[in-house]
Structure 1
């Protein structure tokens, strides 16, 4: 995998926008109107920027897949992070969805582990190239990177059909949250050496 540079942002945002277009969790927080796809794109733009500041952004070697990683214990409140949050509210969430979105984030935060973690925020493959093994290779490389950093991987998914895929890589469900959809909390422990 390749560590993405800022010049790769449009490519990463394109892949994630297409990959998560119908995702329940994404569409729960994105204002549902005629600009919905543009709003999903704004969410992915925001996510890229946050991970670029406080984590890692990776591309698959063929640049058809990507992953956004954060290290929550390293995240800081800065002027830039505040501006990104405001931009997210205005361009993706919408003023009317702020309360619902903040309540959702508080519930998620309550259930997430507080240990230093390797948080896999998004992993996606361009839909035209899904089921070609790109995501599996990328996830293998992410697991390797998390092992080197000595941080267990955490993630959430609302896509039930992805659960067997994650389980194949050693992820276990450690919690669930019922919103207007079910959100599954997964963890992959570090390998015993």
Structure 2
């Protein structure tokens, strides 16, 4: 696992965009129209930028997997984050979706513990290389790097639950948003 170079950013954004194309939670957030893929890309650009400020962006040594880890206790509002939020609204969510996304964020915040944590926001594998162990190796590296903190995440993909559970994650809550959002933690 390596810290990506600035030149790796387009690779990471592309990998995450393709990996999360069918994800219920991502598609709940982004406006659903003929620009949906561009909107998912904008969400991933936003997520990478936020993790560059308040967390870490990781890339596998072979550049086939990546992870975005956020440290919520480090998050602070600033002019830069305001601009990132504004850009996300116009490029991904749409003005009409802001209320829905804010309500979702509040519901998630009410469930997620306020303790110091490593929040695994996104982990993705190049779709051409999925089911070959790249994601497992990336997750093991993230867990090793975050060994002194509990690791939290959410997923809307029930098929991913057994995979996370193999790495010691447990479901601690669920939220119905028209799809089920599962809350997982690893102490």
Query: Please, what TM-score do these two structures have when normalized by structure 1?
Result: 0.96
Give the C-alpha shift of residue 6 in structure 1.
Answer: 2.9
- Tell me what 2:124 maps to: 124
Following TM superposition, the consecutive aligned residue runs of length 4 or more in structure 1 with deviations greater than 2 angstroms are none
Q: Deviation string for 1:121-164 (max 9, x for gaps)?
A: 000001000011000000000110011xx110000000000000
Matched residue, 2:150: 152
Q: 1:76: Cα distance to partner?
A: 1.1
1:53 aligns with 53
In structure 2, C-alpha distance between the alignment counterparts of 1:111 and 1:58, rounded to whole Å: 26
Is residue 182 of structure 2 the alignment partner of residue 180 of structure 1?
no
For 1:95, the equivalent position in structure 2 comes to: 95
Q: Select between 99-108 and 6-15 the one with higher mean Cα deviation.
A: 6-15
Aligned residue pairs: how many?
187
Query: TM-score of the superposition, structure 2-length normalised?
Result: 0.99
Query: What is the CA–CA distance in structure 2 between the aligned matches of 1:7 and 1:55, rounded to whole Å?
Result: 19
Equivalent residue, structure 1, for 2:17: 17
Shift of 1:7: 2.7
Quote the offset at 1:8 in angstroms: 1.7
Q: Structure 1: where are the runs of 5+ without partners?
A: none
Aligned to 1:33: 33
Separation in structure 1 between the aligned mates of residue 64 and residue 13 of structure 2, nearest angstrom = 12
- Counterparts of 1:83 and 1:67 in 2: how far apart (Å)? 23
2:6 matched to which residue of 1? 6
Displacement of 1:78:
1.2
Q: Please state whether the residue corresponding to 2:146 is helix, strand or coil.
A: helix
| Superposed displacement of residue 91, structure 1 | 0.2
1:5 Cα deviation from its structure 2 partner: 3.0
Q: Equivalents in 2 of 1:171, 1:158: separation in Å? A: 15
